[in-house]
Structure 1
Amino acid sequence: MVSKLDLYKVFCKVGKSSSFSKAAKDLYMTQPAVSQAIMQLEKELDIRLFNRTPKGVTLTYEGSLLFEYANSAINLLHVGEEKILEFKDLTTGELKIGVGDTISRYFLLPYLEAFHNKYPNIKFKIINGTTLELCAVLKSGEVDIAICNFPLDDPTLELRSCSDVHDIFVCGAKYKNAIIEPLSFDEIVSLPLILLEQQSISRKYVDDYLMTKGVKISPEFELGSHDLLLEFAKINLGIACVTKEFSQEYLNKGVLYEVPLIEEIPKRSIGVCFLKSVPLSPASTKFVEILENKQL
Protein backbone atom coordinates (compact mmCIF):
# COMPACT_ATOMS: atom_id res chain seq x y z
CA MET A 1 0.00 0.00 0.00
CA VAL A 2 1.34 3.42 -1.05
CA SER A 3 1.65 5.84 1.87
CA LYS A 4 0.32 9.40 1.78
CA LEU A 5 3.90 10.66 1.97
CA ASP A 6 4.83 8.66 -1.13
CA LEU A 7 1.86 10.13 -2.98
CA TYR A 8 3.02 13.65 -2.15
CA LYS A 9 6.56 12.84 -3.26
CA VAL A 10 5.19 11.73 -6.64
CA PHE A 11 2.94 14.79 -6.79
CA CYS A 12 5.86 17.17 -6.17
CA LYS A 13 8.06 15.45 -8.74
CA VAL A 14 5.32 15.68 -11.39
CA GLY A 15 4.66 19.29 -10.44
CA LYS A 16 8.34 20.19 -10.94
CA SER A 17 8.82 18.31 -14.22
CA SER A 18 5.32 18.94 -15.70
CA SER A 19 5.52 15.41 -17.07
CA PHE A 20 4.44 11.99 -15.88
CA SER A 21 7.15 10.29 -17.93
CA LYS A 22 9.99 12.52 -16.61
CA ALA A 23 8.73 12.09 -13.05
CA ALA A 24 8.57 8.32 -13.53
CA LYS A 25 12.17 8.27 -14.77
CA ASP A 26 13.41 10.38 -11.81
CA LEU A 27 11.52 8.22 -9.32
CA TYR A 28 12.49 4.89 -10.95
CA MET A 29 8.81 4.10 -11.41
CA THR A 30 6.69 3.20 -14.44
CA GLN A 31 4.58 5.94 -16.00
CA PRO A 32 1.33 4.07 -15.26
CA ALA A 33 2.36 3.83 -11.58
CA VAL A 34 2.94 7.61 -11.47
CA SER A 35 -0.41 8.27 -13.14
CA GLN A 36 -2.11 5.91 -10.70
CA ALA A 37 -0.52 7.70 -7.71
CA ILE A 38 -1.74 11.11 -8.91
CA MET A 39 -5.21 9.73 -9.53
CA GLN A 40 -5.27 8.23 -6.04
CA LEU A 41 -4.24 11.54 -4.44
CA GLU A 42 -6.84 13.46 -6.47
CA LYS A 43 -9.48 10.95 -5.41
CA GLU A 44 -8.54 11.22 -1.71
CA LEU A 45 -8.57 15.04 -1.86
CA ASP A 46 -11.62 15.08 -4.13
CA ILE A 47 -10.05 17.71 -6.38
CA ARG A 48 -8.21 17.85 -9.71
CA LEU A 49 -4.54 18.69 -9.27
CA PHE A 50 -3.28 18.65 -12.88
CA ASN A 51 -4.49 19.73 -16.29
CA ARG A 52 -3.67 16.94 -18.74
CA THR A 53 -2.62 18.14 -22.22
CA PRO A 54 -0.91 16.46 -25.20
CA LYS A 55 2.26 18.40 -24.32
CA GLY A 56 2.31 17.26 -20.69
CA VAL A 57 0.61 18.34 -17.50
CA THR A 58 0.25 21.64 -15.69
CA LEU A 59 -0.87 22.32 -12.15
CA THR A 60 -4.38 23.55 -11.60
CA TYR A 61 -4.89 26.56 -9.33
CA GLU A 62 -5.67 24.20 -6.46
CA GLY A 63 -2.72 22.03 -7.44
CA SER A 64 -0.36 25.04 -7.40
CA LEU A 65 -1.55 25.99 -3.94
CA LEU A 66 -1.01 22.44 -2.63
CA PHE A 67 2.37 22.22 -4.38
CA GLU A 68 3.78 25.16 -2.41
CA TYR A 69 2.98 23.47 0.88
CA ALA A 70 3.85 19.92 -0.15
CA ASN A 71 7.14 20.88 -1.79
CA SER A 72 8.19 22.87 1.30
CA ALA A 73 7.32 19.92 3.53
CA ILE A 74 9.30 17.47 1.36
CA ASN A 75 12.28 19.82 1.34
CA LEU A 76 12.12 20.13 5.14
CA LEU A 77 12.12 16.36 5.45
CA HIS A 78 15.22 16.17 3.26
CA VAL A 79 16.92 18.83 5.41
CA GLY A 80 15.94 16.88 8.53
CA GLU A 81 17.41 13.68 7.07
CA GLU A 82 20.63 15.52 6.24
CA LYS A 83 20.81 16.91 9.79
CA ILE A 84 20.37 13.42 11.21
CA LEU A 85 23.29 12.23 9.06
CA GLU A 86 25.35 15.18 10.29
CA PHE A 87 24.58 14.24 13.89
CA LYS A 88 25.63 10.65 13.19
CA ASP A 89 28.85 11.87 11.57
CA LEU A 90 29.42 14.33 14.46
CA THR A 91 29.70 17.28 12.09
CA THR A 92 27.09 19.19 14.08
CA GLY A 93 25.17 18.91 17.34
CA GLU A 94 25.35 19.71 21.03
CA LEU A 95 26.71 17.76 23.98
CA LYS A 96 25.10 18.65 27.32
CA ILE A 97 27.19 17.62 30.32
CA GLY A 98 26.50 17.91 34.04
CA VAL A 99 29.58 18.04 36.22
CA GLY A 100 30.82 19.46 39.52
CA ASP A 101 33.40 22.24 39.63
CA THR A 102 36.16 20.09 41.15
CA ILE A 103 35.76 17.14 38.77
CA SER A 104 35.48 19.57 35.86
CA ARG A 105 38.74 21.31 36.78
CA TYR A 106 40.87 18.34 37.81
CA PHE A 107 39.49 15.53 35.62
CA LEU A 108 37.21 16.58 32.78
CA LEU A 109 39.04 19.46 31.06
CA PRO A 110 41.58 17.35 29.13
CA TYR A 111 38.76 15.15 27.77
CA LEU A 112 36.75 18.18 26.69
CA GLU A 113 39.83 19.44 24.87
CA ALA A 114 40.45 16.09 23.18
CA PHE A 115 36.82 15.80 22.08
CA HIS A 116 36.72 19.39 20.80
CA ASN A 117 39.91 18.90 18.79
CA LYS A 118 38.43 15.82 17.14
CA TYR A 119 34.87 17.12 16.67
CA PRO A 120 35.16 20.95 16.58
CA ASN A 121 31.58 21.52 15.35
CA ILE A 122 29.96 19.92 18.40
CA LYS A 123 28.90 22.58 20.90
CA PHE A 124 29.19 22.07 24.66
CA LYS A 125 26.63 22.99 27.28
CA ILE A 126 28.00 22.53 30.81
CA ILE A 127 25.80 22.57 33.91
CA ASN A 128 27.52 22.61 37.31
CA GLY A 129 26.16 21.13 40.52
CA THR A 130 26.58 18.51 43.21
CA THR A 131 26.21 14.85 42.32
CA LEU A 132 22.62 14.75 43.60
CA GLU A 133 21.75 17.95 41.72
CA LEU A 134 23.26 16.54 38.54
CA CYS A 135 21.22 13.34 38.86
CA ALA A 136 18.10 15.52 39.03
CA VAL A 137 18.93 17.53 35.89
CA LEU A 138 19.89 14.30 34.13
CA LYS A 139 16.45 12.86 34.83
CA SER A 140 14.77 16.09 33.70
CA GLY A 141 16.56 15.92 30.34
CA GLU A 142 18.62 19.08 30.85
CA VAL A 143 21.85 17.16 30.31
CA ASP A 144 22.76 14.06 28.30
CA ILE A 145 25.37 12.71 30.71
CA ALA A 146 26.72 13.57 34.14
CA ILE A 147 30.25 13.15 35.47
CA CYS A 148 29.91 12.32 39.17
CA ASN A 149 31.45 10.98 42.32
CA PHE A 150 30.72 7.30 42.88
CA PRO A 151 29.37 5.22 44.58
CA LEU A 152 25.90 6.20 43.46
CA ASP A 153 22.79 4.13 44.14
CA ASP A 154 20.10 4.83 41.53
CA PRO A 155 18.54 1.97 39.53
CA THR A 156 17.42 4.33 36.74
CA LEU A 157 21.00 5.27 35.87
CA GLU A 158 23.70 3.48 33.92
CA LEU A 159 27.03 3.99 35.70
CA ARG A 160 30.45 3.75 34.03
CA SER A 161 33.53 4.15 36.22
CA CYS A 162 36.29 6.19 34.57
CA SER A 163 39.00 6.80 37.16
CA ASP A 164 39.90 5.62 40.67
CA VAL A 165 40.32 8.26 43.37
CA HIS A 166 41.52 8.12 46.96
CA ASP A 167 40.27 9.99 50.01
CA ILE A 168 43.11 11.15 52.25
CA PHE A 169 43.70 13.55 55.11
CA VAL A 170 46.03 16.51 54.60
CA CYS A 171 47.45 19.16 56.88
CA GLY A 172 49.63 22.25 56.92
CA ALA A 173 53.10 22.64 58.41
CA LYS A 174 51.85 23.16 61.99
CA TYR A 175 50.11 19.78 62.19
CA LYS A 176 52.76 17.98 60.14
CA ASN A 177 55.41 18.78 62.74
CA ALA A 178 53.14 17.41 65.50
CA ILE A 179 52.38 14.10 63.76
CA ILE A 180 55.23 11.65 64.33
CA GLU A 181 53.64 8.25 63.72
CA PRO A 182 50.82 7.05 61.43
CA LEU A 183 47.43 7.80 62.99
CA SER A 184 44.46 5.56 63.62
CA PHE A 185 40.97 6.72 62.65
CA ASP A 186 40.21 7.33 66.34
CA GLU A 187 43.21 9.64 66.54
CA ILE A 188 42.26 11.44 63.32
CA VAL A 189 38.73 12.27 64.51
CA SER A 190 40.12 13.67 67.76
CA LEU A 191 41.77 16.46 65.72
CA PRO A 192 39.99 19.53 64.27
CA LEU A 193 38.57 18.23 60.99
CA ILE A 194 37.68 20.09 57.79
CA LEU A 195 35.23 18.19 55.59
CA LEU A 196 32.81 18.72 52.75
CA GLU A 197 29.13 19.20 53.53
CA GLN A 198 27.18 16.11 54.51
CA GLN A 199 25.13 15.92 51.28
CA SER A 200 28.34 15.41 49.32
CA ILE A 201 28.74 11.87 47.95
CA SER A 202 32.47 11.81 48.76
CA ARG A 203 31.79 12.98 52.34
CA LYS A 204 29.11 10.34 52.77
CA TYR A 205 31.50 7.68 51.52
CA VAL A 206 34.10 8.58 54.16
CA ASP A 207 31.46 8.88 56.91
CA ASP A 208 30.00 5.47 56.06
CA TYR A 209 33.38 3.77 55.92
CA LEU A 210 34.52 5.15 59.26
CA MET A 211 31.19 4.14 60.80
CA THR A 212 31.98 0.54 59.85
CA LYS A 213 35.08 0.98 62.03
CA GLY A 214 32.99 2.32 64.88
CA VAL A 215 34.28 5.86 64.36
CA LYS A 216 31.94 8.85 64.00
CA ILE A 217 33.12 12.08 62.41
CA SER A 218 32.29 15.44 63.97
CA PRO A 219 34.08 18.09 61.88
CA GLU A 220 35.11 21.54 62.99
CA PHE A 221 34.36 22.96 59.53
CA GLU A 222 31.94 21.81 56.80
CA LEU A 223 32.56 23.44 53.43
CA GLY A 224 30.95 23.38 50.00
CA SER A 225 34.13 23.42 47.93
CA HIS A 226 37.08 21.03 47.63
CA ASP A 227 39.41 23.97 46.97
CA LEU A 228 38.32 25.58 50.25
CA LEU A 229 39.25 22.37 52.09
CA LEU A 230 42.77 22.74 50.76
CA GLU A 231 42.97 26.43 51.61
CA PHE A 232 41.66 25.94 55.15
CA ALA A 233 44.16 23.15 55.76
CA LYS A 234 47.00 25.26 54.30
CA ILE A 235 46.51 27.94 56.98
CA ASN A 236 46.43 25.28 59.72
CA LEU A 237 42.74 25.49 60.64
CA GLY A 238 42.64 21.70 60.92
CA ILE A 239 43.03 18.38 59.10
CA ALA A 240 41.14 18.24 55.78
CA CYS A 241 39.71 15.15 54.12
CA VAL A 242 40.33 15.61 50.40
CA THR A 243 40.60 13.69 47.14
CA LYS A 244 44.29 12.92 46.62
CA GLU A 245 44.16 13.12 42.83
CA PHE A 246 42.64 16.61 43.01
CA SER A 247 45.16 17.87 45.56
CA GLN A 248 48.44 17.10 43.82
CA GLU A 249 49.33 20.73 43.15
CA TYR A 250 49.29 21.52 46.90
CA LEU A 251 51.10 18.29 47.80
CA ASN A 252 53.77 18.69 45.12
CA LYS A 253 54.49 22.27 46.16
CA GLY A 254 54.89 21.19 49.79
CA VAL A 255 52.23 23.58 51.14
CA LEU A 256 50.15 20.60 52.28
CA TYR A 257 51.18 17.17 53.54
CA GLU A 258 49.40 13.84 53.48
CA VAL A 259 48.69 12.62 56.99
CA PRO A 260 50.03 9.05 57.40
CA LEU A 261 47.33 6.56 58.45
CA ILE A 262 47.61 3.12 59.98
CA GLU A 263 44.78 2.04 57.66
CA GLU A 264 43.91 3.67 54.35
CA ILE A 265 40.36 4.48 53.24
CA PRO A 266 39.49 2.16 50.32
CA LYS A 267 39.56 3.74 46.90
CA ARG A 268 36.36 4.78 45.13
CA SER A 269 35.82 6.17 41.64
CA ILE A 270 34.43 8.97 39.56
CA GLY A 271 32.57 8.20 36.39
CA VAL A 272 29.90 9.02 33.88
CA CYS A 273 26.20 8.25 34.28
CA PHE A 274 23.17 8.51 32.02
CA LEU A 275 19.57 7.34 31.94
CA LYS A 276 19.03 3.66 31.13
CA SER A 277 15.71 4.46 29.46
CA VAL A 278 17.05 7.05 26.99
CA PRO A 279 19.47 6.13 24.17
CA LEU A 280 22.59 8.26 24.05
CA SER A 281 23.08 10.66 21.17
CA PRO A 282 26.02 9.95 18.80
CA ALA A 283 28.00 12.80 20.43
CA SER A 284 27.30 11.49 23.95
CA THR A 285 28.21 7.94 22.92
CA LYS A 286 31.53 9.07 21.50
CA PHE A 287 32.34 11.20 24.55
CA VAL A 288 31.60 8.32 26.95
CA GLU A 289 33.86 6.14 24.80
CA ILE A 290 36.67 8.71 25.08
CA LEU A 291 36.25 8.85 28.88
CA GLU A 292 36.19 5.09 29.35
CA ASN A 293 39.20 4.46 27.10
CA LYS A 294 41.11 7.54 28.39
CA GLN A 295 41.65 8.77 24.84
CA LEU A 296 43.59 11.96 25.49
Structure 2
Amino acid sequence: MVSKLDLYKVFCQVGKSESFSKAAKDLYMTQSAVSQAIMQLERELAIRLFIRTPRGVSLTNEGSLLFEYVKSAINLIDVGEEKILEFKNLTTGELKIGVGDTISRYFLLPYLEAFHTNYPNIKFKIVNGTTLELCSVLKSGGIDIAICNFPLDDPTLELIPCIDIQDIFVCGEKYKNLVSKPLALDEIIELPLILLEPNSNSRKYVEDYMISKGIKISPEFELGSHDLLLEFAKINLGIACVTKEFSQEYINRGLLYEVPLIEEIPKRNIGVCFLKSVSLSPASTKFVEIIENKQI
Protein backbone atom coordinates (compact mmCIF):
# COMPACT_ATOMS: atom_id res chain seq x y z
CA MET A 1 0.00 0.00 0.00
CA VAL A 2 1.38 3.41 -1.02
CA SER A 3 1.29 5.96 1.79
CA LYS A 4 0.12 9.54 1.34
CA LEU A 5 3.67 10.71 2.05
CA ASP A 6 5.01 8.51 -0.76
CA LEU A 7 2.45 10.00 -3.14
CA TYR A 8 3.51 13.51 -2.20
CA LYS A 9 7.18 12.62 -2.72
CA VAL A 10 6.36 11.42 -6.23
CA PHE A 11 4.26 14.54 -6.85
CA CYS A 12 7.09 16.80 -5.69
CA GLN A 13 9.64 15.09 -7.92
CA VAL A 14 7.37 15.27 -10.99
CA GLY A 15 6.73 18.95 -10.23
CA LYS A 16 10.47 19.62 -10.11
CA SER A 17 11.42 17.69 -13.23
CA GLU A 18 8.22 18.43 -15.24
CA SER A 19 8.50 14.92 -16.66
CA PHE A 20 7.16 11.53 -15.61
CA SER A 21 10.14 9.75 -17.15
CA LYS A 22 12.76 11.96 -15.46
CA ALA A 23 10.94 11.68 -12.12
CA ALA A 24 10.80 7.90 -12.50
CA LYS A 25 14.55 7.77 -13.13
CA ASP A 26 15.31 9.99 -10.09
CA LEU A 27 13.01 7.93 -7.85
CA TYR A 28 14.20 4.54 -9.18
CA MET A 29 10.62 3.73 -10.20
CA THR A 30 8.97 2.78 -13.45
CA GLN A 31 7.23 5.51 -15.43
CA SER A 32 3.99 3.56 -15.10
CA ALA A 33 4.30 3.53 -11.27
CA VAL A 34 4.88 7.29 -11.23
CA SER A 35 1.86 7.87 -13.47
CA GLN A 36 -0.29 5.63 -11.26
CA ALA A 37 0.84 7.51 -8.11
CA ILE A 38 -0.13 10.90 -9.59
CA MET A 39 -3.49 9.55 -10.73
CA GLN A 40 -4.15 8.15 -7.24
CA LEU A 41 -3.27 11.49 -5.60
CA GLU A 42 -5.51 13.37 -8.04
CA ARG A 43 -8.38 10.99 -7.25
CA GLU A 44 -7.93 11.38 -3.50
CA LEU A 45 -7.79 15.17 -3.75
CA ALA A 46 -10.49 15.28 -6.42
CA ILE A 47 -8.48 17.80 -8.40
CA ARG A 48 -6.24 17.88 -11.45
CA LEU A 49 -2.59 18.54 -10.59
CA PHE A 50 -0.79 18.34 -13.97
CA ILE A 51 -1.46 19.24 -17.58
CA ARG A 52 -0.04 16.58 -19.92
CA THR A 53 1.79 17.94 -22.99
CA PRO A 54 3.88 16.30 -25.74
CA ARG A 55 7.04 17.68 -24.07
CA GLY A 56 6.15 16.53 -20.55
CA VAL A 57 3.86 17.91 -17.86
CA SER A 58 3.23 21.24 -16.21
CA LEU A 59 1.47 22.09 -12.96
CA THR A 60 -2.08 23.39 -12.96
CA ASN A 61 -2.83 26.46 -10.84
CA GLU A 62 -4.05 24.21 -8.06
CA GLY A 63 -1.03 21.96 -8.53
CA SER A 64 1.36 24.94 -8.28
CA LEU A 65 -0.22 26.01 -4.99
CA LEU A 66 0.03 22.50 -3.56
CA PHE A 67 3.57 22.07 -4.87
CA GLU A 68 4.94 25.00 -2.83
CA TYR A 69 3.58 23.51 0.40
CA VAL A 70 4.63 19.95 -0.40
CA LYS A 71 8.13 21.04 -1.45
CA SER A 72 8.57 22.91 1.86
CA ALA A 73 7.28 19.92 3.85
CA ILE A 74 9.56 17.45 2.04
CA ASN A 75 12.54 19.76 2.56
CA LEU A 76 11.77 19.96 6.29
CA ILE A 77 11.60 16.18 6.50
CA ASP A 78 14.97 15.91 4.72
CA VAL A 79 16.52 18.43 7.13
CA GLY A 80 15.06 16.52 10.08
CA GLU A 81 16.56 13.27 8.82
CA GLU A 82 19.93 14.98 8.38
CA LYS A 83 19.76 16.26 11.97
CA ILE A 84 18.93 12.78 13.25
CA LEU A 85 21.93 11.45 11.33
CA GLU A 86 24.11 14.12 12.93
CA PHE A 87 22.93 13.05 16.39
CA LYS A 88 23.62 9.40 15.57
CA ASN A 89 27.10 10.26 14.30
CA LEU A 90 27.75 12.48 17.35
CA THR A 91 28.47 15.54 15.23
CA THR A 92 25.96 17.59 17.21
CA GLY A 93 23.90 17.33 20.38
CA GLU A 94 24.05 17.82 24.13
CA LEU A 95 25.05 15.52 26.98
CA LYS A 96 23.51 16.32 30.38
CA ILE A 97 25.45 14.80 33.27
CA GLY A 98 24.69 14.93 36.98
CA VAL A 99 27.68 14.65 39.30
CA GLY A 100 28.98 15.89 42.65
CA ASP A 101 32.02 18.13 43.03
CA THR A 102 34.31 15.44 44.46
CA ILE A 103 33.50 12.74 41.91
CA SER A 104 33.76 15.31 39.14
CA ARG A 105 37.22 16.43 40.25
CA TYR A 106 38.79 13.09 41.15
CA PHE A 107 37.05 10.70 38.76
CA LEU A 108 35.06 12.27 35.94
CA LEU A 109 37.36 14.93 34.46
CA PRO A 110 39.61 12.57 32.42
CA TYR A 111 36.53 10.99 30.83
CA LEU A 112 35.07 14.39 29.96
CA GLU A 113 38.38 15.30 28.33
CA ALA A 114 38.54 12.04 26.35
CA PHE A 115 34.95 12.40 25.13
CA HIS A 116 35.38 16.06 24.17
CA THR A 117 38.56 15.26 22.25
CA ASN A 118 36.74 12.66 20.14
CA TYR A 119 33.38 14.47 19.85
CA PRO A 120 34.10 18.21 20.12
CA ASN A 121 30.69 19.30 18.80
CA ILE A 122 28.75 17.68 21.64
CA LYS A 123 27.88 20.26 24.30
CA PHE A 124 28.05 19.43 28.00
CA LYS A 125 25.58 20.44 30.67
CA ILE A 126 26.84 19.54 34.15
CA VAL A 127 24.35 19.50 37.02
CA ASN A 128 25.80 19.46 40.53
CA GLY A 129 24.21 17.76 43.54
CA THR A 130 24.27 14.93 46.05
CA THR A 131 23.54 11.40 44.91
CA LEU A 132 19.93 11.56 46.10
CA GLU A 133 19.40 14.97 44.51
CA LEU A 134 20.81 13.74 41.20
CA CYS A 135 18.56 10.68 41.20
CA SER A 136 15.58 13.00 41.57
CA VAL A 137 16.76 15.21 38.68
CA LEU A 138 17.37 12.08 36.59
CA LYS A 139 13.77 10.93 37.08
CA SER A 140 12.43 14.37 36.13
CA GLY A 141 14.38 14.32 32.84
CA GLY A 142 16.78 17.10 33.82
CA ILE A 143 19.86 14.97 33.11
CA ASP A 144 20.66 11.98 30.90
CA ILE A 145 22.97 10.13 33.28
CA ALA A 146 24.32 10.55 36.81
CA ILE A 147 27.78 9.68 38.12
CA CYS A 148 27.33 9.05 41.82
CA ASN A 149 28.03 7.06 44.95
CA PHE A 150 26.73 3.52 45.26
CA PRO A 151 25.05 1.59 46.76
CA LEU A 152 21.67 2.76 45.50
CA ASP A 153 18.43 0.91 46.07
CA ASP A 154 16.12 2.06 43.29
CA PRO A 155 14.52 -0.48 40.90
CA THR A 156 13.82 2.24 38.30
CA LEU A 157 17.55 2.87 37.73
CA GLU A 158 20.15 0.96 35.75
CA LEU A 159 23.37 0.90 37.79
CA ILE A 160 26.84 0.35 36.32
CA PRO A 161 29.63 0.23 38.96
CA CYS A 162 32.86 1.73 37.62
CA ILE A 163 35.41 2.02 40.42
CA ASP A 164 35.82 0.60 43.94
CA ILE A 165 36.46 3.11 46.70
CA GLN A 166 37.44 2.75 50.35
CA ASP A 167 36.19 4.87 53.25
CA ILE A 168 38.96 5.61 55.77
CA PHE A 169 39.68 7.92 58.70
CA VAL A 170 42.50 10.47 58.50
CA CYS A 171 44.06 12.88 60.97
CA GLY A 172 46.54 15.74 61.14
CA GLU A 173 49.77 16.15 63.06
CA LYS A 174 48.03 16.60 66.45
CA TYR A 175 46.52 13.10 66.32
CA LYS A 176 49.49 11.41 64.64
CA ASN A 177 49.97 9.10 67.65
CA LEU A 178 46.76 7.33 66.59
CA VAL A 179 48.49 5.73 63.61
CA SER A 180 50.84 3.65 65.76
CA LYS A 181 48.34 0.79 66.12
CA PRO A 182 45.02 -0.23 64.56
CA LEU A 183 41.90 1.10 66.30
CA ALA A 184 38.50 -0.47 66.74
CA LEU A 185 35.46 1.39 65.46
CA ASP A 186 34.18 1.94 69.02
CA GLU A 187 37.49 3.66 69.79
CA ILE A 188 37.16 5.88 66.71
CA ILE A 189 33.81 7.30 67.83
CA GLU A 190 35.38 8.52 71.07
CA LEU A 191 37.44 10.97 69.02
CA PRO A 192 36.21 14.30 67.58
CA LEU A 193 34.79 13.19 64.23
CA ILE A 194 34.46 15.21 61.01
CA LEU A 195 31.88 13.80 58.60
CA LEU A 196 29.87 14.79 55.58
CA GLU A 197 26.33 16.07 56.01
CA PRO A 198 23.63 13.44 56.81
CA ASN A 199 21.98 13.78 53.36
CA SER A 200 25.17 12.54 51.68
CA ASN A 201 25.05 8.98 50.35
CA SER A 202 28.67 8.50 51.46
CA ARG A 203 27.83 9.54 55.04
CA LYS A 204 24.76 7.31 55.06
CA TYR A 205 26.80 4.30 53.93
CA VAL A 206 29.39 4.71 56.71
CA GLU A 207 26.77 5.49 59.33
CA ASP A 208 24.62 2.48 58.37
CA TYR A 209 27.66 0.23 58.61
CA MET A 210 28.54 1.57 62.05
CA ILE A 211 24.94 1.12 63.23
CA SER A 212 25.04 -2.50 61.99
CA LYS A 213 27.93 -2.94 64.44
CA GLY A 214 25.94 -1.37 67.26
CA ILE A 215 27.87 1.91 67.04
CA LYS A 216 26.19 5.30 66.82
CA ILE A 217 28.07 8.27 65.34
CA SER A 218 27.93 11.75 66.83
CA PRO A 219 30.27 13.99 64.80
CA GLU A 220 31.79 17.26 65.96
CA PHE A 221 31.60 18.71 62.45
CA GLU A 222 29.27 18.01 59.53
CA LEU A 223 30.50 19.47 56.24
CA GLY A 224 29.23 19.83 52.71
CA SER A 225 32.28 18.78 50.72
CA HIS A 226 35.05 16.19 50.73
CA ASP A 227 37.73 18.85 50.30
CA LEU A 228 36.57 20.55 53.49
CA LEU A 229 36.88 17.26 55.36
CA LEU A 230 40.53 17.11 54.34
CA GLU A 231 41.19 20.73 55.26
CA PHE A 232 39.48 20.46 58.67
CA ALA A 233 41.49 17.34 59.49
CA LYS A 234 44.70 19.00 58.30
CA ILE A 235 44.32 21.83 60.85
CA ASN A 236 43.68 19.28 63.61
CA LEU A 237 39.98 19.89 64.23
CA GLY A 238 39.36 16.15 64.46
CA ILE A 239 39.39 12.82 62.65
CA ALA A 240 37.79 12.93 59.20
CA CYS A 241 36.04 10.09 57.38
CA VAL A 242 37.10 10.43 53.74
CA THR A 243 37.43 8.48 50.51
CA LYS A 244 40.93 7.05 50.33
CA GLU A 245 41.23 7.29 46.54
CA PHE A 246 40.38 11.01 46.66
CA SER A 247 42.72 11.79 49.57
CA GLN A 248 46.00 10.33 48.29
CA GLU A 249 47.60 13.70 47.55
CA TYR A 250 47.20 14.82 51.17
CA ILE A 251 48.45 11.46 52.49
CA ASN A 252 51.41 11.23 50.09
CA ARG A 253 52.52 14.77 50.97
CA GLY A 254 52.39 14.00 54.69
CA LEU A 255 49.62 16.53 55.32
CA LEU A 256 47.32 13.82 56.67
CA TYR A 257 47.76 10.35 58.11
CA GLU A 258 45.52 7.35 57.62
CA VAL A 259 44.25 5.96 60.91
CA PRO A 260 44.52 2.15 60.72
CA LEU A 261 41.43 0.17 61.68
CA ILE A 262 41.18 -3.33 63.11
CA GLU A 263 38.16 -3.86 60.87
CA GLU A 264 38.04 -1.87 57.64
CA ILE A 265 34.78 -0.42 56.40
CA PRO A 266 33.69 -2.53 53.37
CA LYS A 267 34.47 -1.04 49.99
CA ARG A 268 31.72 0.51 47.90
CA ASN A 269 31.49 1.87 44.34
CA ILE A 270 31.18 4.93 42.20
CA GLY A 271 29.25 4.35 39.03
CA VAL A 272 26.88 5.50 36.30
CA CYS A 273 23.12 5.36 36.63
CA PHE A 274 20.26 6.13 34.25
CA LEU A 275 16.58 5.37 33.91
CA LYS A 276 15.69 1.86 32.78
CA SER A 277 12.54 3.12 31.09
CA VAL A 278 14.26 5.66 28.83
CA SER A 279 16.64 4.83 25.98
CA LEU A 280 19.96 6.63 26.19
CA SER A 281 20.85 9.12 23.47
CA PRO A 282 23.77 8.22 21.18
CA ALA A 283 25.98 10.70 23.07
CA SER A 284 25.03 9.24 26.45
CA THR A 285 25.58 5.68 25.20
CA LYS A 286 29.05 6.53 23.91
CA PHE A 287 29.99 8.35 27.13
CA VAL A 288 28.92 5.40 29.29
CA GLU A 289 30.91 3.10 27.02
CA ILE A 290 34.03 5.25 27.48
CA ILE A 291 33.69 5.10 31.27
CA GLU A 292 32.94 1.36 31.33
CA ASN A 293 35.96 0.57 29.18
CA LYS A 294 38.16 3.16 30.94
CA GLN A 295 39.06 4.75 27.60
CA ILE A 296 41.26 7.55 28.93
1:103 and 1:65 map into 2 onto residues whose CA distance is 59
Secondary structure of the 1:198 match is: coil
Amino acid paired to 2:158: E
Instruction: Give the corresponding residue for 1:103.
Output: 103
Partner of 2:167: 167
1:82 — aligned with what? 82
Q: Which amino acid aligns with 1:168?
A: I
What residue in structure 2 maps to residue 252 of structure 1?
Answer: 252
After superposition, give the CA deviation of every residue in 1:10-69 in whole Å (9 maximum; x if it has no partner): 000000000111111111112121111111112212222212222211112221221112
Query: Is the deviation greater in 121-130 or in 41-50?
Result: 41-50
2:180 partner SS: coil
Q: How is 1:84-233 mapped onto 2 (pairs within 5 angstroms)?
A: 84-177=84-177, 179-233=179-233
Superposition deviation, residue 178 in structure 1: 5.1
Please show how residues 251-270 of structure 1 align to structure 2 within 5 Å.
Answer: 251-270=251-270
1:30 aligns with 2:30: yes
TM-score, structure 1 normalization: 0.97
1:177 shift after superposition: 3.1
Residue 271 of structure 1: aligned partner: 271
Q: Which residue is 1:13 aligned to?
A: 13
Structure 1 gaps, min length 5: none
Q: CA deviation at 1:246?
A: 0.9
Q: Give the counterpart letter for 1:18 in structure 2.
A: E
Q: Map Cα deviations across residues 200-258 of structure 1 (whole Å, 9 max, x no partner).
A: 11111101111111111111111111111111111111111011111112111111111
- Bigger shift: residues 72-81 or 158-167: 72-81
C-alpha separation in 2, matches of 1:45 and 1:284: 45
- 1:242 equivalent in structure 2: 242
1:162-215, Cα deviation, whole Å (9 max, x unpaired) = 000010001110011355321110010011111011111111110111111111
Specify the alignment match of 1:282 in structure 2.
282
Cα deviations by residue, 1:73-100 (Å, 9 ceiling, x for unpaired): 1112122222222222222221111111
Q: Matches of 1:251 and 1:107 in 2, distance apart?
A: 18
Letter in 2 for 1:62: E
Give me the whole-angstrom Cα distance separating, in 1, the residues matched to 2:59 and 2:48: 9
RMSD: 1.2
Any idea what SS the aligned residue of 1:279 has? Answer: coil
List runs of 5+ in structure 2 lacking aligned partners. Answer: none
Q: TM-score, normalised by structure 2?
A: 0.97
- Displacement of 1:263: 1.0
